[in-house]
Structures are given as structure tokens and as C-alpha cells.
């Protein structure tokens, strides 16, 4: 598996991110959707990676710097063709490794509270993420779940 930082000009990466954006908007109530579009992912506080296997895009993920040693996972997505094959775990492992290299000691994530997000919540729990209160700009919201992990 190789990762490429940035790579927003790649049409496959754009297609995956646009699908991610559209799908999450469709399953989250208005005002409770925190997915970033491509322009949002280009913010200087965010590092984004696409992940590849034998020149096939398998997924992507991003880290947003909230504070000096605190980061947030954003835009974790497995390409449809590779869902339910362990790629989500590989993406999380990659992002944790990158966070450590960047001297991030605490990771947080916001995800949905609905049934659509059950696989994501199970995946984060598997990696030791624990439920927490809203962080950064987030507020209490019955449609959101918040998790954190000390590295």
C-alpha cells in the first residue's frame, strides 16, 4: 500500500471524495453534517492522503490540526470496491502513524449517531477510541458521536 499526500488533481480521488460528500450529506440531518468538501480539505490545517494498492485507489483520509498536539480525523473513506475487506483498518493505522510522526498525542473524531455510521463507530472503538464530549468547534448534537484516543 502506498500513500500520496494531497493528490486532489487526481480524478479518481476527486470522484471518491465527491461521492463521500454527497452520501454523508444524504444520511445526516441539515446542521449535523460535518463532512468537508475538497476545498475544505485543502485548508492549511489539514493533511490529506489517498491510499493505493497496485495503482488502484483503495481509500483516503485526513488529519486536521486542532491544537499543537491534538488532531482530528476527517474524510475517512474506503472505495466501494474494497469495502468490508479490512481497508478501513489500514486507513486508520496509516493516519495514526502519520499523527505520531507529526507529534500529535491526541486524536479525536466526530461521526454520525445513526445506523449508517455503525461500522465507523465499531472501527474507531476497535482502535481504542473512547466516547468523549464535543471538542473543538463541535456542540452537543443527538446526531453526532464524539471519540478520542491518546497516542
Structural domains of the chain, ranges and CATH numbers in brackets: 2-150 (3.40.630.30)
Residue 138 neighbours by CB under 8 Å, 6+ apart = 34, 110, 144, 146
User: Residue 57 in contact with residue 16, Cβ under 8 Å?
Assistant: yes
Q: In whole angstroms, what is the distance from residue 115 CA to residue 100 CA? A: 31
What percentage of the chain has pLDDT greater than the value 90? 81
88: exposed, middle or buried (C-beta count within 10 Å: 0-12, 13-18, 19+)? buried
pLDDT one-digit tens code per residue, 73-117: 999 999 999 988 899 999 999 999 999 999 999 999 999 999 999
pLDDT at residue 36, rounded to an integer: 85
pLDDT one-digit tens code per residue, 57-67: 999 999 999 99
pTM higher than 0.85, yes or no?
Answer: yes
Q: How many CA atoms lie within 13 A of 81 on its CB side?
A: 8
Of residues 36, 37, 80, the one with CA closest to residue 56: 80
Amino acid at each position: 500500500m502506498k500513500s500520496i499526500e494531497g493528490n486532489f488533481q487526481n480524478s479518481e480521488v476527486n470522484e471518491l471524495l465527491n461521492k463521500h460528500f454527497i452520501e454523508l450529506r444524504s444520511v445526516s440531518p441539515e446542521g449535523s453534517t460535518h463532512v468537508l468538501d475538497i476545498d475544505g480539505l485543502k485548508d492549511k490545517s489539514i493533511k490529506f492522503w489517498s491510499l493505493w494498492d497496485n495503482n488502484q485507489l483503495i481509500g483516503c483520509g485526513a488529519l486536521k490540526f486542532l491544537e499543537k498536539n491534538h488532531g482530528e480525523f476527517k474524510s475517512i473513506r474506503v472505495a466501494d470496491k474494497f469495502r468490508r475487506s479490512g481497508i478501513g483498518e489500514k486507513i486508520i493505522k496509516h493516519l495514526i502513524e502519520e499523527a505520531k510522526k507529526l507529534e500529535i498525542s491526541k486524536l479525536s473524531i466526530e461521526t454520525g449517531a445513526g445506523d449508517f455510521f455503525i461500522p465507523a463507530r465499531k472501527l474507531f472503538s476497535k482502535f481504542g477510541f473512547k466516547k468523549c464530549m464535543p471538542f473543538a468547534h463541535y456542540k452537543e448534537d443527538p446526531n453526532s458521536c464524539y471519540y478520542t484516543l491518546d497516542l
